[in-house]
Amino acid sequence: MTQLLKEIIKKNIKVDGKDLHLLDDYFKPKKIAKGSFLLKEGEVFHAAVFVQNGLFRTFVIDENGTEHIVQFATQGMWTGDLASFISGKPSKFYTEALEESEILTITKNEWENLLQKAPFYLDFHRKLLEKGLFSLQERLLESYSVDARKKYLNLIHTFPDIIQRVPLYMIASYLGMSRETLSRVRKHLTDKK
Amino acid sequence: MTQLLKEIIKKNIKVDGKDLHLLDDYFKPKKIAKGSFLLKEGEVFHAAVFVQNGLFRTFVIDENGTEHIVQFATQGMWTGDLASFISGKPSKFYTEALEESEILTITKNEWENLLQKAPFYLDFHRKLLEKGLFSLQERLLESYSVDARKKYLNLIHTFPDIIQRVPLYMIASYLGMSRETLSRVRKHLTDKK
DNA sequence: TTCATTTTGTGACATAAGTCAATGGACTGG
DNA sequence: CCAGTCCATTGACTTATGTCACAAAATGAA
């Protein structure tokens, strides 16, 4: 059940077998129907969510009512709003299942509890935050210095199968451009071949 | 010496007086000359840096050789590259003193040491990361949904004195626009009065 | 003060991307 | 199998911002 999670943890921190088994007691599996929400704006995100399989998007809605997708999460990734989970403050984000999905969750309290029993999970916690910081930095830098075409190319390079799994207008939203612009970028790329 | 730092820590976490005094042993004060660098691209950022007074910028240089300012840090803020400090990986950033400044530093090793002696500083560490995440999120969202004029207005609202302290072309770089665009935005704002 | 350097402002023009509107294709539920 | 959505494409047009070039102003060092 928690196979994938265990592998990922082993890759990130040093932890021995019997401590890994603790995870089975703490993380609860759950099925999530396509179209349902794990989190809506204004709510506090009380549980960490690890994606076993399926696909989620997390997005904000700005003052003009436009959606901006901040993250896609697939198998092996974490989703929801890490900052809200840690701080206990209300989130600005929505996270929605785009496919029938399976997740592992742990509530804030249980997480704190686990950290007490097995403090080396603090290292993992840290790594998570660090990765969150890192990927946000990357996206911010990209938004400054890269044009539409290159953003798209970068995405299909780092995340090839996302194109098959979500409608293009969501890709456009993720990349911070209009769906028409994305459509034209794609046309130019195929024309050149 | 560590007065300001102590106040900030007290605001963020619960910690009693005698544990605060530990900070005096761990943090070293340092003067930094205007124009000198705390960090250059490719280096690992080995010390956390707290700004006592003065002003720093941290920036990246993209593939085209253009600088993009990611953060200004003034009194009471932290500067450098948190992600590199934590992960021990080389940084992509430069951080430069824009004024004669005074800082408090602590090396990575001493920091780990302090965390062992006084584990509640972990909460502080966490808060720092959380704030880092939060401010990056804010900037990313702004870059998507806000035009040049509003970005400038937001900045002078949240950080009024920065305008007096750094040249406008750096403000432009921080806001992700050309200096000419910023110049025009400012003209329109004064014309309207 | 004076000269050189840095910083800012402005006009003319170029360009990437957004907006609007129409069309047709693909999917889906009944 | 049909009707109704949903989604993607495309053209025409608009708009915000960038780029280039030059001039004016501010700054700072000698």
- Residues B145-157 have pLDDT tens digits of 899 999 999 999 9
Say yes or no to pLDDT of B193 above 60.
no
- Average pLDDT of span A170-182: 96
Cα separation, B172 vs A46, whole angstroms: 38
Structure token digits, residue B81: 């590259």
Cα separation, A128 vs B86, whole angstroms: 12
Grade residue A178 by pLDDT with cuts at 50, 70 and 90. very high
Residue A186 vs residues A147, A152, A183, A192, B39: alpha-carbon distances, Å: 13, 8, 5, 10, 40
The percentage of residues in chain B with a pLDDT greater than 70, rounded to a whole number, is 99
Q: What pLDDT is recorded for position B17?
A: 78
> So what's the pLDDT on residue A61?
92
Q: Does B61 touch chain A (CB under 8 A)?
A: no
Residue B106's pLDDT band, with cuts at 50, 70 and 90, is very high
Distance from CA of A138 to the nearest CA of B (A): 10
pLDDT at B18 over 90: no
Do B112 and B86 meet the contact criterion of CB atoms below 8 Å apart? Answer: no
Query: Which tokens hold the place of A105?
Result: 């969750």
CA closest to A60 among chain B residues: B141
* pLDDT tens, residue by residue, A55-93: 999 999 988 889 999 999 999 999 999 989 988 999 999
Q: What CA–CA distance (Å, rounded) separates A2 from A52?
A: 8
Distances in Å between the Cα of A149 and the Cα atoms of A120, A128, A144, A188, B57 are 43, 30, 14, 9, 30
pLDDT digits (tens, 9 = 90+) for B67-80: 999 999 999 999 99
> Within 147-186 of chain A, which residues have Cβ less than 7 Å from strand D?
167-169, 179-180, 182-184, 186
Put simply, whether B82 touches A (Cβ < 8 Å) is yes
Give me the helices (H) in chain B, please. Answer: 3-12, 17-26, 82-87, 108-117, 121-145, 148-158, 162-165, 168-175, 179-192
Q: What is the mean pLDDT of chain A?
A: 92
Band of the pLDDT at A15, cuts 50, 70, 90? Answer: confident
Q: Report the distance separating Cα B14 and Cα B12, nearest Å.
A: 7
Q: Integer distance in angstroms from the first to the last C-alpha of chain B?
A: 45
Which of A68, A129, A144 is the closest to B141 by Cβ?
A68
Instruction: Check CB contact under 8 Å for A133 and B137.
Output: no
In contact, A100 and A33? CB cutoff 8 Å = yes
**pLDDT digits over A18-34, tens only?**
788 899 999 999 999 99
pLDDT tens figures, A97-122: 999 999 999 999 999 999 988 888 88
**What was the pLDDT predicted at A27?**
96
Tell me if A69 sits within 8 A of A75, measured CB to CB. no
The stretch A148-169 carries a mean pLDDT of: 95
Residue B178: which nucleotide is closest by CA–C1'? Answer: D18
By Cβ distance, the residue of A63, A86, A140 closest to B143 is: A140
Tokens of A30: 């759950």
Judged against a pLDDT cut of 60, whether residue A193 lies above it is answered with no
Distance CA A83, CA B70 (A): 20
Task: Map A99-134 to HEC letters.
Answer: CCEEEEEEEHHHHHHHHHHCCCHHHHHHHHHHHHHH
- Residues contacting nucleic strand C by the 7 Å CB criterion are A 147-149, 176-178, 180-181; B 167-170, 179-180, 182-184, 186-187
Asked whether A149 and A34 are in contact (CB, 8 A), the reply is: no
Contact between A137 and B134 using a beta-carbon 8 Å cutoff: no
- Strand D bases contacted by the protein (CB, 7 Å): 6-12, 16-21
Q: Which of B163, B136, B57, B67 is closest to A144 using CA atoms?
A: B67
Q: Are A106 and A65 in contact (CB under 8 A)?
A: no
Provide the pLDDT for residue A17: 78
Q: What is the pLDDT of residue A192?
A: 61
Q: What is the mean pLDDT of residues B158-172?
A: 95
Q: What is the mean pLDDT of residues A129-155?
A: 93
| Closest Cα in chain A, distance from residue B142 (Å) | 9
Put simply, whether B116 touches A (Cβ < 8 Å) is: no
Element housing B28 (H / E):
strand B28-32
**Residue A188: how many CB atoms within 10 A of its CB?**
10
Residue B106 forms beta bridges with which residues? B48
Segment B52-58 shows an average pLDDT of: 96
What confidence tier does B63 reach under pLDDT thresholds 50, 70, 90? confident
B14 vs chain A: nearest CA distance in angstroms? 15
